[in-house]
A and B are shown apart, each in its own frame.
Chain A
Amino acid sequence: MTLARELNSLSLQERNRVFESIHGVDDVIKETPEMLEEKLQEFQKVVDRIENSEGGSLNVEVPLASRSAYLQAKRQDESYVSNRTFRLMFLRAEGFHAPLAVQRMMVYLEEKLSRFGSHVLTKTLTINDLSPQSRALLVDFGIHQILPARDSAGRAIYLVHVDDGPREVVRENPMAAVSERFLVLFLQWKRNAWLTWLHRFSPKFNIAQDGLDILHAIGLRRR
């Protein structure tokens, strides 16, 4: 329903663009050396304005943390953040819209700083930079994969597989695990009362079938 409502709220052109993008029939921007040079210069101008705290007039919101991450990276290795290939990556990701590309680059640097630390901020990420947990998930289980073929439009395919295999669940935040455990205990408490309440709430609720599903769901009954 939400999706249908949102699609209806789009203009005809926007909706076409979304459908073309999903089906891989959208246009790829043709790049010429002149165009690339022009966009890179525009990118530099936007960076300069954001560095001088004049980003408000560009209609882009760059969080303070992102800006400081960028400045830190610039202090560490200016050639990394001003590298042509590095900047083109973000320009292409935003369809050569320079202000949005600058915003994306700064948020990317912030994410990189928060996830991997300052020692890799201005380096290309390698497998060795991953945490042991992430490395186990990535290397041993293949939960995240780049598939060995592209789709018909030439786009790479990134797969995330989440299953119930017998693996240790990686929890980065111990408090989240504790709160989830409390929630499960709360649901387990007076479980029959919950089922009756659900039946009263929804007359179509079938205790024999749906109830069993819920028992499976909260881990009270194994299949």
Chain B
Amino acid sequence: MLSASAEDEETQKRGMITLQVLAVLPRLLEDLEVIRINVRRSDISRWCPVRMKANHIWVKSFPENPFIRATVDILTKSMNKGNRTRTRIHKGSFTELGYHLMTFGVPSDCLPYATDGEELRVNAHARWLNRRKKKEGILRNNTTFKALDLPGCRDVCLGRGSASHQHAGNVCMRAVMSTLVEEYRVASAVRRQELNRKLVQMVRDGGGRFLARTTGGWYEEVTDEKEVLKKVGGSFRGMLSRTNADSPSMGLDTANEAIEDRSVAVKRPRLETSSSSVLSASSGNKTDYWNFAGGRSKTQLNVSI
């Protein structure tokens, strides 16, 4: 698995972190097995083709048990000094672990556990294995495979759902977008296209790519410039409608003035495009995901205008 993940260039550049979960019944036999497995695993940092940047150990069960404590002790002492200083041991419930890991930048919602932390989920893992098998089949015939398993932290994912919405690259892009949204609000159609292009260029200059999920489950870079610009424009409009809805200062008069100003500049669809209309417009196109206007903004926007 490590060799498989080492094929990813982003992982090579940024490294990898490990999370070891000790959830064993404190029986000596099991404990020794754990020690053996983990001591063997800790050697990986010596030869693994990816750099291990940090190591987290979650002692899930019986943290105060003497045998578990001894196990953790042996485990950490068997590491080399460089690894040991990069190791953090966490005790407590799954919720506490989530909060601890968040302080290290690890998103807790990606952990493959049920909400109580008891059950290990393997759905995402099964999907990964399927993709891997397909990839191995493709690589047997071809020498190159450009699709990505994991998008990089600067890449922007075009897709629905919280996974794409909360992806670091998307969050960054929205932060940049929020600085341009006021200019976008009063801009003409031509100027809006320029702003779209400017934002796309800013993302690319920062080392980001625009990725869309393929049917196989991988991410692939969207090469069609028109499609990228269309998504960014949709995202701008979504943010615009959301800021209109959220802003208490944006009353009826201000919104109408803004609409009139823009209608003078160029004739185009009105601002009150609701999320339902965007959805219906995009229903024929599977990759039209750039809609940040939720149901809340839809209703509030209609009321305010």
A positions within 8 Å CB-CB of B: 2-3, 6-7, 10, 18, 21-26, 28-29, 31, 88-90, 92-95, 104, 107-108, 110-111, 124-128, 138-139, 141-142, 144-164, 169, 176, 180-181, 183-184, 187, 210, 213-214, 216-219, 223
Contacts and interface: CB of A to CB of B under 8 A. Distances in A.
Contact of A18 (B19, B67, B85, B112): B85
Contacts of B29: 180-181, 184, 219
Instruction: Report which residue of A29, A108, A146 has the largest number of chain B beta carbons within 10 angstroms of its beta carbon.
Output: A146
A216 to B, nearest CB: 6
A213 B266 CA distance: 77
Contacts of A138: 1
B66 A213 contact: yes
A90 B128 contact: no
Interface residues of B, number: 89
Contact of B128 (A108, A148, A183): A148
Nearest to B16: A156
Nearest to B154: A154
Nearest to B167: A149
29 contacts: A6-B84, A7-B85, A22-B53, A31-B13, A93-B51, A104-B47, A124-B3, A125-B3, A142-B125, A146-B1, A146-B128, A151-B105, A153-B53, A153-B105, A153-B153, A157-B18, A159-B21, A160-B38, A162-B20, A162-B21, A162-B23, A163-B21, A163-B60, A164-B30, A180-B28, A180-B32, A184-B28, A217-B28, A217-B31
Contacts of A152: 105-107, 153, 168
B2 A158 contact: yes
Contacts of A213: 26, 62, 65-66
B34 interface: yes
Interface stretch (B129-137, B175-183, B231-239, B293-301): B129-137
A161 B106 contact: no
B33 to A, nearest CB: 6
A142 B48 CA distance: 20
Interface of B: 1-8, 10-34, 36-38, 41, 46-51, 53-54, 60, 62, 65-67, 76-77, 81, 84-88, 103-107, 109-112, 120-122, 124-129, 132-133, 136, 139, 149-154, 163, 167-168
Instruction: Report which residue of A94, A141, A159 has the largest number of chain B beta carbons within 10 angstroms of its beta carbon.
Output: A159
B5 A21 contact: no
A184 B67 CA distance: 13
A210 B67 CA distance: 11
Contacts of B23: 161-164
Given A89-B12, A138-B1, A162-B38, 18 more contacts: A22-B88, A104-B46, A124-B3, A139-B129, A145-B1, A145-B128, A146-B128, A148-B124, A149-B110, A149-B150, A149-B163, A154-B10, A154-B168, A161-B21, A162-B21, A163-B120, A180-B28, A217-B26
A160 B20 contact: yes
Nearest to B106: A151
Contacts of A127: 129, 132-133, 136
A145 B37 contact: no
Contact of A148 (B46, B77, B150): B150
Nearest to B121: A142
A197 B129 CA distance: 51
A13 B12 CA distance: 24
B224 to A, nearest CB: 25
B6 A89 contact: yes
A160 B168 contact: no
